[in-house]
Amino acid sequence: ALHVGIVGLPNVGKSTLFNALTKAAIAAENYPFCTIDPNVGVVPVPDPRLEVLAGIVKPERVVPTAIEFVDIAGLVAGASKGEGLGNQFLAHIRETDAIAHVVRCFENDDIVHVAGKVDPLSDIEVIGVELILADMATVEKALQRAQKAAKSGNKEEIERVRVLELVSKGLNSGTPVRAIPLPPEDAALLRELHLLTAKPTMYIANVQEGGFDNNPLLEQVEAFARNEGAVVVPVCAAFEAELSQLEDEDKADFLAEIGFEEPGLNRVVRAAYRLLNLFTYFTAGVKEVRAWTIPAGATAPQAAGVIHSDFEKGFIRAEVIAYEDFVACQGEQGAKDAGKWRLEGKDYVMRDGDIVHFRFNV
Ligand code: GDP
């Protein structure tokens, strides 16, 4: 499954956020290296469409889709040279599909800041520099290999040298690979290197309660991210952690009291989902209404394969109803009567919200 790595300097609130996300009881202590092993949490993706579908179909159960978050041990300056838990940290990031970078935008004198003061932009830079340094080392090695291989006149290796030189130049000037404009075929040559700064990245600004407005620290992060074309999700991790302890009913009351419609974590999860460029489709039977995750652009057989690999192999057709049609027509029969029920073949590209029944051979 695709997963998002939660990274950031020590004591910015990563574990607090991760715990709230997974409701797992992992110690969040005022201690830089308390999260040594990466912790993986499977987090349901909030989707109001599920309840609407359940209201129509009245199934026995409703199953949301999920994405994985990994809490990655704190990075310190010098990680790319092996400081702190540097190498381990970088190896874990290498395995992620996207990065959620938590930055501290809350003041609290009791909680040590590794650099001595709360300065989110410098935090972003410290991590950014470490990731760029790590990528420079990777690219340098790959470049040497490719230069050797290109001596034989191999076309692909010559291309590889060209792309690696370009990327190396960008990194040297402090540009993350995701911000270097590369045509798809060039980007494809880099894929096997799993470059850290090539991964889609968003920022999670951890603010204090009431720190969503008129917060200069948050505004700094937002300005920085805008410049990068990145998304910022402001949350108060400590508040979310408390909220996650409550029963669902109490949660709703509590949120209403302070004028929020939903936990801030929902925004984090949805932003991560978008960052990974994922779509949701639904299956809607009387046994179960369920959401499934596919990459944007997936075809019907690929979508079927998410349920079971046999569904992909034996794919015949997909019966498809768009979410809006399903709701407007109050279910499958209504959609059929209204001519909104479609039979699609193996080349059909799935749309977000499609309600699907697959026909397949076993
Ligand atoms: P990590 O090292 O980045 O994983 O940070 P932790 O999640 O362990 O948090 C470090 C300390 O900051 C803990 O004592 C948390 O309770 C505290 N903390 C985390 N988020 C917030 C927040 O939003 N507001 C305040 N005031 N404290 C927080």
What sign has the CA pseudo-torsion 106, 111, 117, 122? Answer: negative
- How far is it, in rounded angstroms, from Cα 14 to Cα 94? 18
**Residue of 7, 11, 12, 235 to mutate, ligand 1, most atoms within 8 A of C-beta:** 11
Q: Name residue 291's beta-bridge partners.
A: 282
Binding residue per annotation — 13? yes
Please check the confidence at residue 27 and state whether its pLDDT lies above 60.
no
Domain segments of the chain as ranges: 3-46+66-118+198-275, 129-197, 297-360
- CA-based nearest residue to 168, from 128, 133, 194: 133
Q: Ligand 1: distance of its center to the CA of 313 in Å?
A: 47
- CA-based nearest residue to 199, from 176, 229, 221: 176
Please check the confidence at residue 35 and state whether its pLDDT lies above 50.
no
Q: Name residue 5's beta-bridge partners.
A: 70, 99
Torsion angle in degrees (nearest 10) through CA of 177, 41, 207, 205: 10
- 184-200 confidence digits (pLDDT tens): 999 999 999 999 999 99
CATH of 129-197, one of 1.10.150.300, 1.10.599.10, 3.20.20.60, 1.10.1740.110: 1.10.150.300
- CA-based nearest residue to 266, from 235, 245, 221: 235
- Tell me the C-alpha to C-alpha distance, in Å, between residue 171 and each of 135, 150, 183, 248: 8, 22, 17, 47
Q: Please report, rounded to a whole number, the percentage of residues in the chain having pLDDT higher than 70.
A: 90
Binding residue per annotation — 70? no
**Residue of 12, 16, 92 to mutate, ligand 1, most atoms within 8 A of C-beta:** 16
**The pLDDT of residue 118:** 81
Please work out whether the CB of residue 237 comes within 6 Å of at least one atom of ligand 1. yes
CATH of 3-46+66-118+198-275, one of 3.40.50.300, 3.40.190.10, 3.40.50.720, 3.20.20.10: 3.40.50.300
Q: Ligand 1: distance of its center to the CA of 63 in Å?
A: 31
Under the banding of pLDDT at 50, 70 and 90, the label for residue 101 is very high
Report the pLDDT averaged over residues 264-271.
92
- CA-based nearest residue to 275, from 283, 267, 286: 267
- How far is it, in rounded angstroms, from Cα 338 to Cα 322? 12
- CA-based nearest residue to 312, from 336, 288, 294: 294
Please work out whether the CB of residue 111 comes within 6 Å of at least one atom of ligand 1. yes
Euclidean distance between the first and the last CA atom of the chain, given in angstroms as a whole number = 25
Under the banding of pLDDT at 50, 70 and 90, the label for residue 28 is very low
Please work out whether the CB of residue 176 comes within 6 Å of at least one atom of ligand 1. no
Pairing type for strands 201-207 and 232-235 reads parallel
Which backbone phi and psi does 179 adopt, to 5 degrees?
-100, 0
**The pLDDT of residue 76:** 65
- 156-180 confidence digits (pLDDT tens): 999 999 999 999 999 999 999 999 9
AA letter at 58: K
Structure tokens given for 58: 């009245």
Q: Identify the top-confidence range among 41-45, 72-76, 171-175.
A: 171-175
Mean pLDDT of the chain: 89
The number of the ligand 1 atom at minimal distance from the alpha carbon of 16 is 7
One fold for both 3-46+66-118+198-275 and 129-197? no
**The pLDDT of residue 353:** 98
Which of the 8 DSSP states describes residue 350? P
Please check the confidence at residue 214 and state whether its pLDDT lies above 70.
yes
Number of separate helices (H) and strands (E) present in the chain = 14, 12
- CA-based nearest residue to 137, from 218, 193, 203: 193
Q: What residue owns the CA closest to ligand 1's atom 27?
A: 238
Please check the confidence at residue 36 and state whether its pLDDT lies above 60.
no
CATH code for residues 297-360: 3.10.20.30
Report the pLDDT averaged over residues 126-149.
94
Please work out whether the CB of residue 38 comes within 6 Å of at least one atom of ligand 1. no
The residues, any chain, with a CB within 8 Å of residue 334's CB and separated by 6 or more, are none
ipTM reported for the complex surpasses 0.90: yes
Cβ of 309: how many Cβ atoms within 10 Å?
A: 10
The residues, any chain, with a CB within 8 Å of residue 47's CB and separated by 6 or more, are 64, 65, 280, 291
SS3 320: strand
